[in-house]
Structures are given as C-alpha cells and as structure tokens.
Amino acid sequence: MRSLGRYLLIRTLLTIPMIFVLVTLVFIILRVMPGDPVKSSIRPGAPQEYINEIRHTLGLDKPLYVQYGDYLWDLLHLDLGTTLSPVRGQSVAKQIWEHFPATLELALAGMLVTAIVGVGLGAYAAHHRRSLADYSLRLYAIVIYAIPVFWLGLMFQLVFGVWLKIFPVAGRISSLAVAPKHITGLYTVDSLLTGNWAAFKDSMMHLALPALTLGLYLSGVFVRLTRSNMLQVLKMDFVTAARARGIPERTVVYRHALKNALIPIITMMGLQFALLLAGAVLTESTFSWPGLGRFLVERITYRDFPSIQGAVVVFALLVASVSLLVDILYALIDPRIRY
C-alpha cells in the first residue's frame, strides 16, 4: 500500500505540468480570438475613453506577458480571479462552484447509463454471438456513435417531451418546486438524503432525458468494446475449465468472463470521460442544464477570459482525477496489478 501512495503522489504531481500546458494554450487562444470582454459587456457606441478606462482598471492594457505572468501567479495561489463580463468583479471560483454540482450530477448519471447499457448489451451480444440480437446491437453501436449528441437530445425532447409529454425538456427541477437543501449539490442525492420525495421525483424526471442522451451517445463505443473483449475472454481456457466444472453458463459468462473483460473497459471509461465532459457541454446547452458546460459556452460568447480559463482548469482536474481513480480501480479488480 505504501507503493500505491507513492504512485498516487507521482500521478498527482504529474497533473501540474499538464494543467500548466493547458492553461497556457487556452490563454493564448483566447487572446488570439477576435472579440473583447469589455466591448461585449457594455452598450455599443460607448465612448472610447470609457472603454480605455475600464481596460486600464482590469489590467487588460498591460503587455500580454505581464497578464500571463499575473494569471499564473494567481493560479499558483489557487486564485481563479474575478469575472470581466457580462458582470464584472464576481469570484470565478464561486461561480464555478455553483455550477459544478449540476455537471457532476449529469456526468455521473450519464456514465451510469453508459456503463449499464454499453457493458450490459455488449456482454449480451457476445454471449449470443451471431444471433439477430447480436447483429442489431452492433448496428445500434455504430448508429448511436455516429449521431450528433445534440441531435439525439433534440429528438428525445421532441418524442418524450413534446409528443408523449412524459419528461420535462429543460432545467434541473420545476420552477415551482423547492430545490432540496444543499448537501452535495446533486439534487437527486440531496432530496433523497433529506427524504424530500417530491423533489426527488421531480429532479429524477428532469435528469432522465439529459442523462439518457449523454449515456446512450457514449454507449455505442462500450457495446463494441465489451463485445469484442468478451469474445476474447470467452475463448480462454479458464472459461472452458469453469464450464467443465459444471458452473452454470450464466455465471460463467456474466461473472467469470465479464469481470475479466472489464479491465480494458475501465481504461476506456477513463479515457472517454473527457469525451463525456465534451458531450455534457452540448447536452447542457440542449437541455438548458445549469451546469459548468453551459456556463462555459455562455462565458465564451462574452469573452470572459478568467471564467473560461477557470472552467477549463476544473475540467482538466476532473479528467486527471478520473484517470487516477481508474488506476486505483484496476488494482481493486485485478489482483495481479500492484503499484
């Protein structure tokens, strides 16, 4: 376990240069991009002196390398700065913190859908190889992967929201309902913890379509991956040996084989997490989900540099911690892996 601690420490330290590179890139891209945070936040036609004055107070008239140095210095002190636009002077960290739980809730729910649908159907396809179900599932995997995630979201809204009127199409909770007491920030979890059943049902209904959209979109990759891994594992000697011991086929396939096929799948889950966040940005916009993704898109239109940079840092940290988590999961699943 001591070596695991060492490994975790090294991995954590490695995220620092990663974030440095990322932040630098984002910093440069934002400055190269046309548009200006001051102009986008004030009335068009304002006098140039007024604009210059604001630029001066915000430090935007300093040379770029000074701005960059200041930014890094603040970041080093875990200070994400204050917003420039549309409203000036708000704490970026606080805003990100307010939007983060919504994204986390959506990402977790989406991941859950992906894991259950992708891995479950993939294993089923492998078990019933060359059956009609297998061929249909393979087709499903390709089609769902090729569909743009926002289009999938729109279709869900149209079918389940507009036509069938089963699920709401926007927001996290009904405007008339009271949001549950803030514990984790995840409405579904908080309402469950406080025993607020009405809020739980309401937030679950709101979560359903975005989570399905995001989860199904990513499930295609996992159907294919699980299927091909399972087919390989099912050919292995220990599977034959388990059958020869009289272990029921269901147990052999879904316990012995699936667990062995899971290791590369978990790697993929870690890698796909970045894609999941990208999908979350689009899904949040489609479903007006008040999360970090929608926050990011909104701030990009306002050229609010500190908010964009802050959100990117948080996304990067998230991806890094997930890949760290995946490495720990390996060791828990596979006794042969020790750090």
The full DSSP string for 136-189 is HHHHHHHHHHHS-HHHHHHHHIIIIIIIS--S--SSSS-SSSPPPP-SSS-HHH
Which residue stretch of 77-85, 247-255, 294-302, 314-322 sits at the interface with other proteins (rule: CB under 8 A)? 247-255
Tell me the number of residues near other proteins by CB under 8 A.
20
- 243 part of the interface to other proteins, by CB under 8 A: yes
Q: Given the complex with other proteins, which of 33 and 333 has the nearer CB atom?
A: 333
**Smallest distance, other proteins to C-beta of residue 248, A:** 7
- 4 part of the interface to other proteins, by CB under 8 A: no
- 250 part of the interface to other proteins, by CB under 8 A: no
**HSE-up (13 A, CA, CB side) for residue 286:** 27
Among 170, 247, 271, 297, binds other proteins (CB under 8 A): 247
- 148 part of the interface to other proteins, by CB under 8 A: no
Token pair for 113: 């859908």
Q: Given the complex with other proteins, which of 165 and 336 has the nearer CB atom?
A: 336
Among 256, 294, 299, 303, binds other proteins (CB under 8 A): 256
- Per-residue mark of binding to other proteins, 180-219 (x: CB under 8 A): ----------------------------------------
Among 248, 317, 325, 328, binds other proteins (CB under 8 A): 248
- 131 part of the interface to other proteins, by CB under 8 A: no
Residue pair 169/244 in contact by the 8 Å Cβ criterion: no
Residue pair 256/241 in contact by the 8 Å Cβ criterion: no
Q: What is the DSSP letter of 91?
A: B
Distance between CA atoms of residues 132 and 155, nearest Å: 26
Select from 260, 287, 309, 254 the least CA-distant residue to 109: 287
Distance between CA atoms of residues 236 and 257, nearest Å: 9
Q: Given the complex with other proteins, which of 24 and 251 has the nearer CB atom?
A: 251
Q: What is the DSSP letter of 50?
A: H
Q: What is the DSSP letter of 41?
A: T
Residue with tokens 């399905």: 212
Distance between CA atoms of residues 87 and 84, nearest Å: 6
Q: Given the complex with other proteins, which of 262 and 318 has the nearer CB atom?
A: 262
Among 249, 288, 317, 325, binds other proteins (CB under 8 A): 249
Among 236, 317, 325, 328, binds other proteins (CB under 8 A): 236
- 336 part of the interface to other proteins, by CB under 8 A: yes
Among 38, 119, 169, 242, binds other proteins (CB under 8 A): 242
Select from 253, 203, 202, 204 the least CA-distant residue to 229: 253
Residue with tokens 């990322």: 22
Q: Given the complex with other proteins, which of 182 and 235 has the nearer CB atom?
A: 235
Token pair for 300: 């990009």
Question: Which phi and psi (to 5°) does residue 138 adopt?
Answer: -65, -40
- 240 part of the interface to other proteins, by CB under 8 A: yes
**Smallest distance, other proteins to C-beta of residue 330, A:** 11
Q: Given the complex with other proteins, which of 165 and 245 has the nearer CB atom?
A: 245
- 246 part of the interface to other proteins, by CB under 8 A: yes
Among 43, 77, 165, 245, binds other proteins (CB under 8 A): 245
Q: Is the dihedral of CA 58, 59, 64, 65 positive or negative?
A: negative
Among 259, 288, 325, 328, binds other proteins (CB under 8 A): 259
Q: Which residues bind other proteins (CB under 8 A)?
A: 236-238, 240-249, 256, 259-260, 333-336
